[in-house]
Structure 1
Amino acid sequence: MLQKQGWRPRRTIIFCSWDAEEYGLTGSTEWVEENREMLYSRAVAYLNIDVSVVGPGFLPSTTPQLDELLQQVTKVVQDPDNSSQTVYDSWIKSSTPLRVLRLGDGGSDYSAFVQHVGIPSMNIIFGEGPGYPVYHSLYDDYVWMAKFGDPAFRRHVAAASIWGMMALRLANEDILPFNYMSYAIELEAYTKTVENEVKGTTVTCSPLYNSIRTLGAAATKVNNEQKELQKLLLSKQLNKDSLKIRQLNDRLMQTERAFTSREGIFKLEWFKHLVYGPSDQNDWDTAVYPGIANAIASARSSNTSESWKFVQHEIYRVARAVTQASAILSGRLT
């Protein structure tokens, strides 16, 4: 409808349908590897839909800078199971604080985008349970969905509405709607977990805490910068094609890339993201700070001074990545 009215997005929207997802995410992985340089320099975000509806309840997964945008979008989409409220209303009633999963596992096509290239991403599912009984069986078909899973297909409409509004805002807003403060808050919580795991050893998390404080300060600075530029745009004092807008958007887009490392994760070198990645024991299991987690597991097994020194090395690696992300976000490194 928008296209028929002559509308064109400010940024290109690419619709992808992946082959061979069940065979090691082959289609999406091969495409990402083939187009890695283009994606690294130009991709703003990836929005994934896999098992979109399995039942009632809303269970999204995102990289943290998309949290705020997702909340805004769900506040204007009607809850498919209660027309008197929004998806956000039911979401916050079911989990306070809001339950948002992260994209560290290898269970769907977002894996290559997030964990290999470092692209802000989202995956949405209606259905909070551990799965649905017909999953991957002969009964996993239209008849089951129409009779049991989503009889009026309202949940599918809601999923499409959320995806569509997220895509429109990411493609069309003059300033990318990213908020990295969520990232800083989340990283600090993760670091407290690591600190508990290395208690009683010579390992310290101080470098990581210091880098996270720097990221929080950069996120606050950029949030204020976004607001000021938005005011100038609204008052027509600034053109939407201004170099200032372009530079800010480049920083917002490239910050996620800074969490990746060319060398990759310890034991899982293809996976480059140092914050979110799969466990080396189970590809379906999410590991936070996967390189640190793998190093701690090895150190506990061998319990040598060298193995604990390697844990410290992995903490320094993540701290450097977070510091670099802060520098990119604040404009000190472009």
Structure 2
Amino acid sequence: MTPPGLQTAKAPTEAPMVQLIDQVGDRRRDPALDPWVADIDDAALAALYRDLVVIRRIDAEGIALQRQGELGLWPPLAGQEAAQVGSARALGADDFAFPSYREHGVAWCRGVAPEGLLLAWRGTAPSGWDPYAHRLAVPQIIIGAQALHATGYAMGLAWEGAESAAVAYFGDGATSEGDVNEALVFAASFRAPVVFFCQNNHWAISEPVGLQSAQPIAARADGFGIPGVRVDGNDVLAVLAVTRQALHRARTGGGATLIEAVTYRMGPHTTADDPTRYRSDEELAAWRERDPIARVRARLEASGVDLAAVDADATAAADRAAAELRAAATGLADPAPMSVFDHVYAEPNSHLERQRERYARYLGMFDGGAGTGPQEVAR
């Protein structure tokens, strides 16, 4: 039973959803989706497994760094690795992804170095990477705003006749935001080449998904006149297949798709959250049985691959990434105080200059107010 005061994520979790690898590692055939992953042999699946292991290790290291005072905050993603890896590995080089603040796995798959994953969370830079170099927008803190950004970008792609697409990542809680619904309206109206990728991790901070959605989130697509797909978000192969299919549809003039990847947030919403206050141990234990990494490992074992070698390769890659993340966190220099105004706007303007001047005067009130002299103020 659920202890008093705790909620359960009552939602249509068991409603039909696409699945190619079940939770014990058995391969399920799907005539419609199998062609989209026909190239995924044992070696390719092992590479996806390595991604999953690396990302979980990065996440654990990020949490540890925050607990040790090296980061101001960290939004964990444990449990959602397959949703992020499967979708990110489906992206083409020219596709552009628009993430929320939790898509460390997507950033990793788009080639962002471990250092880039933590710059913003350490407070040393507004973002950790060049969006155009990685075809990945900066993490969006405003819930759901990135759906509008992705849709606008996709509309531009359509007007230019480009053969690429945009992907907007958001959680189940964001589907109640006006920005996401407005983006869906525009995308449907203008047949924008965009994929809306919702990671339904069952908890919008402390509120269960069932509180805001009485039916599967993918079913909402009908109201906007676009296809909706519900996929097992803990099945990396199925996520890869449906995302490839949706991206192909977008690139070939078919318009938008809403994907609901059914997964679970195993940890807190952020390191400032205590999930034991609102969810039960029984619910968490049930979802641990659906672990996305364990099921891929079981599939590889059933395929007869050298599992020891696969594990060793994945562990070594995870160790390297975690070591790079820690070294970056402890080796970053604090930025000059006035650099907070750099890169805010493309061109100087009087509003920003007034703020710069006032902040410089404020810093000058303290002893050792380095970097606030006339040259710094005028910069």
TM score, norm. by length of structure 1: 0.26
Higher relative CO (Cα under 8 Å, sequence separation at least 6) belongs to 2
